[in-house]
Structure 1
Amino acid sequence: MMGGDVKTSERADADFTAFVEGAQPRLSRVAVLLTGNRATAEDLLQEAFIRTYLNWGKVRPQGAYSYTRRILVNLNTDRWRRRHLEPVVGDIGDDHVSAAASRGYATVDHRDSIVHELAGLSDRERTIVVLRYFLDLSERQVAEELDISVGTVKSTCSRALARLGTQRVGEGRLS
């Protein structure tokens, strides 16, 4: 029986390792977009993976990405609730990009400009915009993930997009 436990544990570790290798590039990008800072993003992502690992036996394989992403978002929310710091512009890198994100990047000369523009938003606005438009979640999914109302998602998105549009006009990027 002891040998079976070791094999089960080794298999679970191998499954978790495969999950991390597959999910890390996209989750890393999400973390940078949420925080605006690569070092902070790496710390949050590492903590999210640790928490996922500690509960790995309870996590469904098909839900592991969403489970870890939710931990990441919650950790970031906890971070900005504890101490509100001005975001630092970071680099989001060239890791794997989702189809939705690729479409969005096609019109941007430099990917760093996305992080720079998002840095002008409040932490809550930035989180909602990243979940809604970068991760392509529905308004209802964003509301559930952040435990807020759909109306709050809609109004926050509206304000954030207006601010982003104002920044672009101010910088001469829109006609």
Structure 2
Amino acid sequence: MRPVEVDEDFAAFVGAHQDKLQRAAFLLCGEREQARDLAQEALTRTAQHWSRVRHEMPLAYARRILYTAHVDQWRKTGPEVLTDGLPERSVGDDGSWAQSLTIRRALQQLPPRVRVVVVLRYFEDLDVATTARTLGIAQGTVKSQTSDGIRRLRELLSEVGTDA
């Protein structure tokens, strides 16, 4: 690789978007160190082509590199690790994750109607039509309350702590 001169525009780009790229990478791979490496790879490749992409859509370019680098890495290592024995069952396999204190606290902060819709849709695994019939409301109301509830849960759970 050739050395890359970093200009002020690129430094500002990195400052504004590095955390977003690392969060996206963490969601892809699930490991913090690997996520940092993927984000760094995306930023390095973006820097190499900065003069060409700076006036276009540099964040989209960096995200594309991030996803491509992840797929390349996955292809090299493969999705599975072969072992002689079966893995032990994880603690959360029985659905107890839904009972965690963090989830319950977040759910309690939702408005009651929205909470009921979210619980029926995601914890009880009901479809939109069945949820609407169960609550005696329109399917559109179920959809909008589901959307509002999930958005709010994401906000609440991200406040709890994701330092990816």
TM-score normalised by structure 1 residue count: 0.44
Higher relative contact order (CA 8 A, sep 6+): 1
TM-score normalised by structure 2 residue count: 0.47
